Amino acid sequence: MASDKGCGRGKVSRRDFLMATAAGLGALPCLAALGEEKGKRSAIERVTLGKTKVRPTRLGFGTGSNGGQVQRALGEEGLAKVIRHAWDRGIRYIDTADHYHIHPLVGTAIKGLPREEMVLLTKIEWEDGPDINKELDRFRKELGTDYFDIVLLHCMSEAGWPEKMKKLGDGLLAAKEKGIVRAIGTSSHGLPALREVAACPWVDVHLCRVNHKGHHMDGPTGKWAEPGMVEPVMEQVKKIHAAGKGVLGMKLIGNGDFKDPEERERSIQAVMKCPHVDAVTIGLKSPAEVDEAIERINRALNG
């Protein structure tokens, strides 16, 4: 699993071929749904995020492995192939970010798919005090969409962020009122930031790091490689969920470091048993990884 930027006559360009293929694949039925057993929970069932009306599939396709490097390396055609396979398997939730420098590739991959069936999440950088409207206009153009289901402020790591980010939060709220965004929130790296999510009034959805070992989970300072603290993190996840906010999980594969299949199994089993995590993102780079993630989640939910 992967861990979290003119043709001659009679010839067809790679882009044109990709678009034609995309249009055709979009009409295919969901292969997983055709064989899904009634009454069983699954990776591709819809879940509701807190008090929002946003309903992603339980498993989301992550495009930010190693800051998006893994998915960018697939190229336009390669990424489209994997995303289309995920779509055919029933995944309807895609997680991306401006920081990953991959919006245009994702936009190509999802072109022609029914937008109303998709939950599209992106994240916005905040360090330079961006103009929210301009950034969202750029994002929409890059991804070929009129709106986003979820937009997060990317990577809160310090205490005091709700006040520090108030202007940006207000900007997201205004975009939400205009229908440009359906739900807003944050992602976190560090317990100081995570502890302030539950009480933040404008956060609808939070994306947090969860796995069974605390590997690349939130720690006491928010530094990238510090050891994570499972119990304090899960205590906050419970509070966030109890506050009526949607909870999305990431880093289930330990930033791609869980190379042992049994380690991946244990992590997914642990997260799927947590009632406070609504849906998860896993960074994926091949059809085989898509299939494995679905299989493991289904087994964890019904074992």
| 186 strand-pairing partners | 153, 206
Residue 16: pLDDT over 60:
no
The predicted structure's pLDDT at residue 226: 87
| Residue pLDDT, tens place only, 142-196 | 999 999 999 999 999 899 999 999 999 999 999 999 999 999 999 998 999 999 9
Residue type, 112: G
| Residue pLDDT, tens place only, 54-112 | 999 999 999 999 999 999 999 999 999 999 999 999 999 999 999 999 999 999 999 99
What does the pLDDT average to over 33-47?
Answer: 74
What is the pLDDT confidence band of residue 121, given thresholds at 50, 70 and 90?
very high
Alpha carbon distance 183, 174 (integer Å): 11
Domain residue limits, the chain: 42-302
Q: What string of DSSP letters covers the chain?
A: ------PPTT---HHHHHHHHHHHHHTS--HHHHHPPTT---TTSB---TTSS---BSEEEE--TTTTHHHHTTHHHHHHHHHHHHHHTT--EEE--GGGT-HHHHHHHHTTS-GGG-EEEEEE--TT---HHHHHHHHHHHHT-S-EEEEEEEEE-STTHHHHTHHHHHHHHHHHHTTSEEEEEEEESSHHHHTTTTT-TT--EEEEE--SS-TT---SS--TTSPP-HHHHHHHHHHHHHTT-EEEEE-TTTTTT--SHHHHHHHHHHHHT-TT--EEEEE--SHHHHHHHHHHHHHHHH-
The predicted structure's pLDDT at residue 30: 38
Alpha carbon distance 200, 70 (integer Å): 33
Higher-confidence residue of 16 and 59: namely 59
Residue 27: pLDDT over 90:
no
What is the pLDDT confidence band of residue 37, given thresholds at 50, 70 and 90?
low
What does R_g of the chain's alpha carbons equal in angstroms?
A: 19
CATH topology of domain 42-302: TIM Barrel (3.20.20)
CB 225 within 8 A of CB 3: no
Torsion on CA atoms 108, 151, 60, 248, rounded to nearest 10: 170
The predicted structure's pLDDT at residue 40: 86
Report the chain's mean pLDDT, rounded to a whole number: 89
Residue 21: pLDDT over 80:
no
The predicted structure's pLDDT at residue 25: 40
What does the pLDDT average to over 128-140?
Answer: 94
The predicted structure's pLDDT at residue 171: 97
Alpha carbon distance 264, 270 (integer Å): 10
The predicted structure's pLDDT at residue 181: 98
CB 109 within 8 A of CB 79: yes
